Amino acid sequence: MYGLEMKVSMIKRIGLIVSLCLTALLISSCSDSGTESGVEAGLAKEQVPPSEASIPNAGNGVYSRSAMCVTSFSKNGVNAGRYIDLKLHKVMAKCDSVNRYYAYWGYTQSTATLSQWMKSWCTSQHGSTTTIIDADEQQCSSGSGTYNVAAVGYVNKYGDLLAAYNANSGGQSKSAWGKTHYCNFGRNEGRTFTGLSASSCGSTTTTATTTSSAKSCYGDYVRKYPDLLAAYNALGGGQNINVWGKNHYNNYGQSEGRSACTTWPSGDYSYLCAYNECRSFSNRTRRWRSSSVNIISTHSTYYNGLRGSWPVNFNLGSSGGITIEQGYGNWCGAALPLRYSDGTIRGCRIKINYLHDYLNCGVLKATVIHEVGHCIGFFGHTADGGLMDAKANNATGANATTRNMISLLYSLPPGTDIGSRLRGYSRISGHKYSRTNPQKLPPKWYYTAIKD
């Protein structure tokens, strides 16, 4: 009997536990209170809460649409930026009774849906009516101009324009800046965006500099870039070319990485371009940020002869630069420079064959110096009988031609546009330059296969 009573008691306990679990499950899945999948109470299942303006408001129930269009909003505690700069498919509104401002942006839903979401939010959370301030920048206005959704999209479409605007907006809205750029330069450069055309421009021109006192080198700046010269000829409106050039350089060109009024060091720029491979980088140079480069290896014999071999300074035994190691392959040595889209080299890996002394590779010191040449910006192979031929020819230093090339390279900042110094100039080629958001470029090993 005792065992039977124990079994009955156990069954009752199990039943009670199951009942409690089912009750908890029903409450968690069916309750109308609390939250469901992160959605606030009172909202449609697919709706998400909007983001609130990240600055305090006056609290007097009065808003200025032009001021709100440039108000910043935050998402998850992080400042996302000004409303006019946020991604389209967006709506901004005020919950009237509490004088609080909210926005949606970057959603796939229509502005009509987002507006309805906003009204539901104000009603459910604040018991308030809603004022829709803007939908996709159709209502926003500031100063003398209306925000133009197409002009904003135009800037966002082109990475170089977005970087130029972020670096130097001149206090203009993205819409005003974008319209000015399109009308003065973009349409003649062949840039396009739905909703922008010649009729969008009217008499818009750049008028920041109004005197003829601009240096003549700004005229040279316009002439050295074919796209600028074409834009000036088409849209200059009789303005002095030096003034027009200075306006463009100050407002756009400098942030785009163009150069103006530069005193160029003497040297063979065609040779520099050929062996720094500038044609594959929009006619820009690539080098270490400093002319003092660290080199480290676990084999100190690789340091022999490096100092003085090239017209840069080597800090032997220091990490964070060039690394020399042993490896095995069908080559005497190989180099892998780590290059970025702002024109900098930020690292380099050299491999020297384990069997170097047993192969037809020549003097070890010559091979190491040759590979270091690749690491500091000499990316090709010559055929002049010197160090940078496909085989180092037992040379223990660079010849005059290759030394002069490296000297010229390191007399220019990384990413310098040398297109105007070249014959057959073309801006549109290879990897894109990016000063404000540098990215690692695809890797490339430099070596020559050993012939049998």
Task: Please identify, among 142, 173, 191, the residue that sits at the C-terminal boundary of a domain.
Answer: 142
Tell whether 209 and 274 lie within a shared domain. Answer: no
pLDDT for the residue numbered 148 = 66
The closest of 291, 446, 452 to 382, measured between CA atoms, is 446
Is 40 inside a domain boundary? no
pLDDT for the residue numbered 214 = 60
Is 439 inside a domain boundary? no
Tell whether 105 and 138 lie within a shared domain. Answer: yes
Tell whether 295 and 414 lie within a shared domain. Answer: yes
Tell whether 123 and 223 lie within a shared domain. Answer: no
Is 28 inside a domain boundary? no
151 contacts 178 by C-beta, under 8 angstroms: yes
Tell whether 249 and 353 lie within a shared domain. Answer: no
310 contacts 405 by C-beta, under 8 angstroms: no
Tell whether 119 and 152 lie within a shared domain. Answer: no
pLDDT for the residue numbered 28 = 40
150 contacts 200 by C-beta, under 8 angstroms: yes
Tell whether 231 and 177 lie within a shared domain. Answer: yes
Tell whether 133 and 200 lie within a shared domain. Answer: no
Range of the domain at 134: 51-142
E-strand spans in 328-427? Answer: 333-339, 344-353
**What stretch of H or E contains 157?**
helix 149-157
Backbone dihedral region for residue 148 (phi beyond 0: left; psi -120 to 50: alpha; all else: beta): beta
Question: Strands 333-339 and 344-353: what pairing?
Answer: antiparallel
Q: Which tokens go with 193?
A: 């965006």
Phi, psi torsion values for 9, nearest 5 degrees: -60, -40
The SS3 call for residue 204 is: coil
Is 209 inside a domain boundary? yes
pLDDT for the residue numbered 430 = 74
Q: What angle do CA 233, 235, 238 make, to 5 degrees?
A: 75
Spatial distance between the Cα atoms of 117 and 125, rounded to a whole number of angstroms? 12
Is 308 inside a domain boundary? yes
pLDDT for the residue numbered 189 = 73
Task: Please identify, among 142, 177, 201, the residue that sits at the C-terminal boundary of a domain.
Answer: 142
337 contacts 379 by C-beta, under 8 angstroms: yes
Q: Which tokens go with 129?
A: 């009516």
**What stretch of H or E contains 314?**
strand 313-316
Spatial distance between the Cα atoms of 83 and 69, rounded to a whole number of angstroms? 6
Q: Which tokens go with 152?
A: 């904003």
85-111 burial: b if 16+ Cβ within 10 Å, else e: bbeebbbbbbbeeebbbbbbbebeeeb
pLDDT of the chain, 452 residues: tens digit per residue: 444 444 445 555 555 554 544 444 443 433 333 333 333 445 555 678 888 886 544 333 445 555 677 778 877 777 777 787 777 678 989 898 888 889 998 788 888 899 999 999 899 999 999 989 888 766 764 433 445 667 778 888 888 888 777 776 665 667 777 888 888 778 777 788 888 887 777 644 444 433 444 677 888 888 888 888 888 887 776 778 888 888 888 778 876 777 787 778 999 999 999 999 999 998 999 999 999 999 999 999 999 999 999 999 999 999 999 999 999 999 999 999 999 999 999 999 999 999 999 998 999 999 999 999 999 999 999 999 999 999 898 988 899 999 999 999 999 989 998 988 887 655 556 788 887 789 999 999 999 998 75
Tell whether 201 and 311 lie within a shared domain. Answer: no
Question: Residue 259, CB half-sphere, CA atoms under 13 Å: how many?
Answer: 17
Is 221 inside a domain boundary? yes
Q: Which tokens go with 158?
A: 């082109």
Tell whether 214 and 119 lie within a shared domain. Answer: no
Is 26 inside a domain boundary? no
Is 213 inside a domain boundary? yes
pLDDT for the residue numbered 376 = 98
Length of the chain: 452
Domains in the chain: how many in total?
A: 3
The closest of 251, 261, 253 to 209, measured between CA atoms, is 251
The closest of 156, 125, 112 to 50, measured between CA atoms, is 125
- Residue 360's domain is classified under what CATH number? 3.40.390.10
Tell whether 248 and 274 lie within a shared domain. Answer: no
Tell whether 188 and 247 lie within a shared domain. Answer: yes
> Which amino acid, one-letter code, is at 6?
M
